[in-house]
Structure 1
Amino acid sequence: MIKIESIEEFNQILKENEQFYFLKHSLTCPISQEAFEEYESHENSHGETKHYYLAVQEARPLSNHIAETFQVKHESPQAFLFNKENVAWHASHWKITNKSLTQATEE
């Protein structure tokens, strides 16, 4: 899992990867910590697809950029599956599970 902190880094990832997962993570929220653990578990079992994340408190401009660019209301925690430079799937809070992340690529 790779931590991303800038809009420039994110835009590069968007251009270089046909498909990847992305997580907006809060460093202070217990729900976000559980989602982070599910996300990490998913990466461990599905390493063929890249997994990135940001810490909202440290990368607010990037978090806002994603919400505005892809017209997805900001939530935290929030997981995305990007496919061909678009949001193919997203979920937040308790809906972020290893199972839901796996199902996102199967749909």
Structure 2
Amino acid sequence: MGILNKIFKTEQKEEKTLPWIPLNTVAQLNYIEEKSKKKTQVIFKHSTRCGISKMVINQFIEAYSLTEKDLDLYYLDLLSYRDVSNEVGYKFQVMHESPQLLVIQNGNVVAHASHGAINTIQLEDYT
């Protein structure tokens, strides 16, 4: 494989990991609401079977530059945890879309977007 890499000059790109907190229970939503009174909470709702969702999350990961000190970043696999996904919409009064990003401060959604618009939200503005 080394020869092919030299011929085609392919480089192994180091995979970037974010400080994701798995969101997989409805009970966590009350915790997120309370915690948002002191620190910005962000929920990324992702569909693991959707090509658009995959593209958007990859762009989001690439552009993400904040740390755990700035905000808490939750990852919701909405296909595995559909009940949690439904409750997110009810609790925070945001119509379900996928993929979707919600920014929560003081118990309320202060910004949200879906699809490609997710990557237009400047999370730095909410830290």
Q: Deviations over 1:14-60 (max 9, x none)?
A: 212331211110000011112212332344x0112221110011111
Which structure has the higher relative contact order (CA within 8 Å, separation 6+)? Answer: 1
Q: Which SS does the other structure have where 1:96 is aligned? A: helix
Within 1, Cα distance between the matches of 2:28 and 2:99? 20
Matched to 1:19, the amino acid is T
The structure having more radius of gyration, on CA atoms, is: 2
**For residue 46 of structure 1, what is the aligned residue in structure 2?**
66
TM superposition outliers: structure 1 runs of 4+ over 3 Å: none
Superposition RMSD in Å:
1.8
**For residue 70 of structure 1, what is the aligned residue in structure 2?**
92
Structure holding more helix per residue? 1
* Aligned: 1:102 with 2:84: no
Any residues of structure 2 matched to 1:83-102 within 5 Å, and which?
A: 83-97=105-119, 100-102=120-122
* Aligned: 1:16 with 2:38: no
Any residues of structure 2 matched to 1:30-41 within 5 Å, and which?
A: 30-41=51-62
Number of equivalenced pairs: 103
TM score, norm. by length of structure 2: 0.72
Within 2, Cα distance between the matches of 1:19 and 1:41? 20
1:5–1:62 Cα change, 3 Å: same
Which consecutive residues of structure 1, in runs of 5 or more, have no partner in the other structure? none
Q: Percent identity?
A: 30
Within 2, Cα distance between the matches of 1:30 and 1:13? 28
1:49–1:38 Cα change, 3 Å: farther
Within 1, Cα distance between the matches of 2:89 and 2:63? 23
The answer to whether the 8 Å contact 2:21/2:75 transfers is yes
Matched to 1:59, the amino acid is Y
Which consecutive residues of structure 2, in runs of 5 or more, have no partner in the other structure? 1-19
1:73–1:80 Cα change, 3 Å: same
